Structure 1
Amino acid sequence: MQLQFIGVDPNSDIDESPTAWVDLENADIVIQSYTADDATRAQCVQNNAPGHAQLVPDHESVIRVPARLVPILREACDAAERAKL
């Protein structure tokens, strides 16, 4: 796996760092961010995607991405599209 660093939340402290990377082998976007709290997880389960079980599987996580990271995620999406070429 080869990750391309895209960016980190510019307003985060040194010990809090929502970050985005792109996996150059498969163009997946990899995100480090805040673990969602129990209330957010419960809402995700209650408002699940149609046709899917009402649960968050053990191998998945609900994360909260700060709005400040949106420009970095746009850049990550662009990098992911370029990696697919």
Structure 2
Amino acid sequence: MDPETQGNGSPTVWVDDEERELVFQGWNPSEELLAEISTTEWAPGHAIGIPQGEAVVRVPLRMAAIIRKALDDAERSGLL
């Protein structure tokens, strides 16, 4: 969980062992970012837009250590 929030709607990342996935909870992107994504190649090699069934969430960079820990946990559990 984002250490700078008080646990109420906090950006969070966790490992879903059963599905073998990292799950991210974050903030909705701004309308400006969504407009940019829908009109430009925002990540190299990625198609323009957001495919059906996918979403974009924003997670603060201060959570990098938490994301690394989730990956380490998944690796220790044999999921990676």
| Same-fold status (TM-score > 0.5) | yes
Aligned match for 1:55, one of 39, 46, 49: 49
Aligned match for 1:11, one of 4, 10, 30: 4
The 5-angstrom pairing of residues 18-57 of structure 1 reads: 18-45=11-38, 46-48=40-42, 49-50=44-45, 52-57=46-51
Tell me the TM-score normalized by structure 1. 0.73
1:82 aligns with 2:41: no
**How many correspondences in the alignment?**
77
Q: For structure 2, which runs of at least 5 residues remain unmatched after alignment?
A: none
Following superposition, which runs of at least 4 residues in structure 1 exceed 4 angstroms of deviation?
none
Q: For structure 1, which runs of at least 5 residues remain unmatched after alignment?
A: 1-7
Shift in alpha-carbon separation, 1:80–1:14, aligned structure 2, 3 A: closer
Alpha-carbon distance between aligned partners in 1 of 2:36 and 2:65, rounded to the nearest angstrom: 26
Give how far 1:66 is off: 0.7
Aligned Cα root-mean-square deviation (Å):
2.0
Task: Please give the per-residue CA displacement for 1:6-61, whole angstroms capped at 9, x wherever unaligned.
Answer: xx1111134331111101124310011111112222333412442x5312123111
